[in-house]
Chains A and B, each alone.
Chain A
Amino acid sequence: MSIRLLALIPVAAAISLALSAAVDAVALPLFLDTTGTILATALAGPAVGIATGVVTSAVNTLRNPTFWPFVVVQVIVALYAWGAARAGLFRSFRTAVPVGLALGVIAAVTSTPISYLVFGCTTTGGIALTTALGKALGLPPLGACFFGSFVSDFGDKAVTFALVTSVLHALPRRTAARFPWALRAIGVA
Chain B
Amino acid sequence: MTRLHPFTLLTIAGALPALAWILPAPAGAAATAAVALVLTLTPGASPGLTGIGSSPGWRPGLVVLRAALLTAAPFWVFLLLLHDVPTTIAIGLRITTMVASFVWLVAALEPARLVEAMVAAGWSASVAYLFAATLTAVPMLKARAQRIAEAQRCRGLSPRGGIASRLRALRALALPLVLSALHEVDERALALETRGLRPGIRRTTLAPPHDPVVERAARWVLLLACPAALVWRLL
Among A55, A118, A120, which residue has its beta carbon within 8 angstroms of that of B82?
Answer: A120
Considering only CB atoms, which chain A residue lies closest to B148 in the complex?
A22
**A119–B183 CB distance below 8 A:** no
Please report which residues of chain A, range 75-96, place their CB below 8 angstroms from some CB of chain B when the two chains form the complex: none
Q: List 13 A-B contacts (CB under 8 A).
A: A9-B130, A10-B134, A11-B182, A11-B184, A21-B145, A25-B159, A55-B130, A62-B106, A62-B135, A66-B98, A66-B99, A167-B182, A170-B175
Which of B88, B102, B184 gathers the greatest number of chain A CB atoms within 10 Å?
B102
The 6 closest A-B pairs by CB, nearest first: A18-B141, A14-B137, A128-B78, A10-B133, A65-B102, A21-B145
Among B74, B95, B102, B171, which residue has its beta carbon within 8 angstroms of that of A166?
Answer: B171
Residue A178 interfacial (CB < 8 Å)? yes
**Complex-state Cα separation, A3 to B186, whole angstroms:** 9
Q: Min CB distance, A67 to chain B, in Å?
A: 10
**A175–B138 CB distance below 8 A:** no
Among B71, B131, B140, B169, which residue has its beta carbon within 8 angstroms of that of A58?
Answer: B131
**B185–A11 CB distance below 8 A:** yes
Which of A56, A58, A62, A129 gathers the greatest number of chain B CB atoms within 10 Å?
A62
Given A122-B82, A132-B82, A167-B178, A7:B145 Cβ within 8 A: no
Residue B212 interfacial (CB < 8 Å)? no
Number of interface residues of A (CB under 8 A): 59
Residue A105 interfacial (CB < 8 Å)? no
**Complex-state Cα separation, A1 to B82, whole angstroms:** 46
**Complex-state Cα separation, A19 to B148, whole angstroms:** 12
**B189–A7 CB distance below 8 A:** yes
**A61–B102 CB distance below 8 A:** yes
A24-38 CB mask vs B (1 if < 8 Å, else 0) is: 011110101001000
15 more contacts with CB within 8 A, not counting A4-B189, A19-B177, are A3-B193, A10-B130, A10-B137, A14-B140, A18-B181, A22-B148, A26-B166, A26-B170, A26-B173, A27-B166, A64-B71, A66-B75, A125-B78, A163-B174, A166-B171
Give the chain B neighbours of A103 by CB distance below 8 A.
Answer: none
Residue B163 interfacial (CB < 8 Å)? yes
**A6–B179 CB distance below 8 A:** no
**Complex-state Cα separation, A141 to B182, whole angstroms:** 42
Residue A171 interfacial (CB < 8 Å)? yes
Residue A99 interfacial (CB < 8 Å)? no
Residue B50 interfacial (CB < 8 Å)? no
Among B87, B103, B199, which residue has its beta carbon within 8 angstroms of that of A120?
Answer: B87
Considering only CB atoms, which chain B residue lies closest to A132 in the complex?
B81
**B130–A3 CB distance below 8 A:** no
**B134–A55 CB distance below 8 A:** yes
Q: Min CB distance, B192 to chain A, in Å?
A: 5
**Complex-state Cα separation, A63 to B11, whole angstroms:** 18
Residue A131 interfacial (CB < 8 Å)? yes
Give the chain A neighbours of B88 by CB distance below 8 A.
Answer: 120
Given A7-B192, A120-B79, A23:B170 Cβ within 8 A: yes
Which of B130, B135, B171 gathers the greatest number of chain A CB atoms within 10 Å?
B130
Residue A159 interfacial (CB < 8 Å)? yes
Residue A186 interfacial (CB < 8 Å)? no
Among B21, B74, B140, which residue has its beta carbon within 8 angstroms of that of A118?
Answer: B21
Give the chain A neighbours of B130 by CB distance below 8 A.
Answer: 6, 9-10, 13, 51, 55
**Complex-state Cα separation, A61 to B83, whole angstroms:** 25
**A14–B141 CB distance below 8 A:** yes
**A26–B134 CB distance below 8 A:** no
**B182–A175 CB distance below 8 A:** yes
Residue B59 interfacial (CB < 8 Å)? no
